[in-house]
Structure 1
Amino acid sequence: MSFHTDALRSQGELSLKTIFLLQVGTGALANAILFFHNISPILLGHKKKTKAIIVTHMAVANLLVLFSSGTIHTMATSVLRKPLPSLGCKFVYYIHRVARSSSLCSTCVLSTYQLVTLIPRTVNWMMFRGRAPKFIGLPCCTCWIFSVLMNIYIPVMVIAPNSLGNDSDTQGKWFCSVSSLSEVTVILWSFPDAVFIGLMVWSSGSIVLLLQRHHQRVQYIHTLTGFHRCPPETRAAHTVLLLVVTFVIFYMMNSVFTFYITVFSDFHLWLLQTSNVLVSCFPTVSPFLLLLRNPRTPRICS
Structure 2
Amino acid sequence: MSLLNNVFYFQNGIGVFANVFLLLFYIFIILCHRPKPMDLIFCQLTLTHTVMLLTGVFVWVTDMFESLNIDNDIKCKTAFYISRVMRGLSICITCLLSVFQAVTISPSTSFLANFKLKLKKYISYAFFYIWSLNLSFNSNLIIFVGGFTNVSETSQMKVTKSCLLFPISYIIKALILTVATFIDIFLVGVMLITSAYIVLILFRHQRQHKYLHSLSCPRSSPEKKATQTILLLVTFFVVMYWVDFIISSTAVLLWIYDPVIQSVQKLLMNVYPTITPLVQISSDNRIINILKNIQSKYYQIL
Equivalent in the alignment of 1:33: 21
Task: Go from structure 1 to structure 2 and tell me whether the alpha carbon gap of 1:64 and 1:166 turns closer, same or farther (over 3 Å shift).
Answer: farther
1:139 and 2:126 are equivalent in the alignment: yes
**1 CA distance for matches of 2:39 and 2:22?**
10
Q: How does 1:220-235 map to 2 (within 5 A)?
A: 220-222=211-213, 224-235=214-225
Aligned match of 2:104 in 100, 117, 123? 117
Query: Structure 1 unaligned runs (5+)?
Result: 1-12
**2 CA distance for matches of 1:94 and 1:237?**
33
Aligned match of 1:68 in 30, 35, 55? 55
Q: For 1:93, what is the secondary structure of its paired residue?
A: helix
Q: Deviations over 1:145-193 (max 9, x none)?
A: 11101112111111323446589xxx97614233445322210122222
Task: Go from structure 1 to structure 2 and tell me whether the alpha carbon gap of 1:159 and 1:193 turns closer, same or farther (over 3 Å shift).
Answer: same
Task: Go from structure 1 to structure 2 and tell me whether the alpha carbon gap of 1:166 and 1:208 turns closer, same or farther (over 3 Å shift).
Answer: farther
Aligned match of 2:201 in 194, 203, 210? 210
Equivalent in the alignment of 1:191: 182
Asked whether the 8 Å contact 1:34–1:287 carries over to 2, the reply is: yes
1:160 and 2:150 are equivalent in the alignment: no
* Cα distance, 1:295 vs structure 2: 5.5
1:238 and 2:225 are equivalent in the alignment: no
Q: TM-score of the superposition, structure 2-length normalised?
A: 0.84
* Cα distance, 1:264 vs structure 2: 2.2
**1 CA distance for matches of 2:71 and 2:179?**
28
* Cα distance, 1:56 vs structure 2: 0.6
Asked whether the 8 Å contact 1:166–1:172 carries over to 2, the reply is: no
Q: TM-score of the superposition, structure 1-length normalised?
A: 0.84
Equivalent in the alignment of 1:255: 245
Aligned match of 1:96 in 61, 71, 83? 83
**2 CA distance for matches of 1:47 and 1:126?**
23
Asked whether the 8 Å contact 2:23–2:47 carries over to 1, the reply is: yes
Task: Go from structure 1 to structure 2 and tell me whether the alpha carbon gap of 1:206 and 1:297 turns closer, same or farther (over 3 Å shift).
Answer: farther
Asked whether the 8 Å contact 1:161–1:173 carries over to 2, the reply is: no
Task: Go from structure 1 to structure 2 and tell me whether the alpha carbon gap of 1:163 and 1:267 turns closer, same or farther (over 3 Å shift).
Answer: farther
Q: Structure 1 segments of 4 or more deviating over 6 A?
A: 81-84, 124-127
1:219 and 2:210 are equivalent in the alignment: yes
**Matched residue type, 1:20:** F
**1 CA distance for matches of 2:178 and 2:5?**
31
**Matched residue type, 2:11:** Q
Aligned match of 1:42 in 23, 26, 30? 30
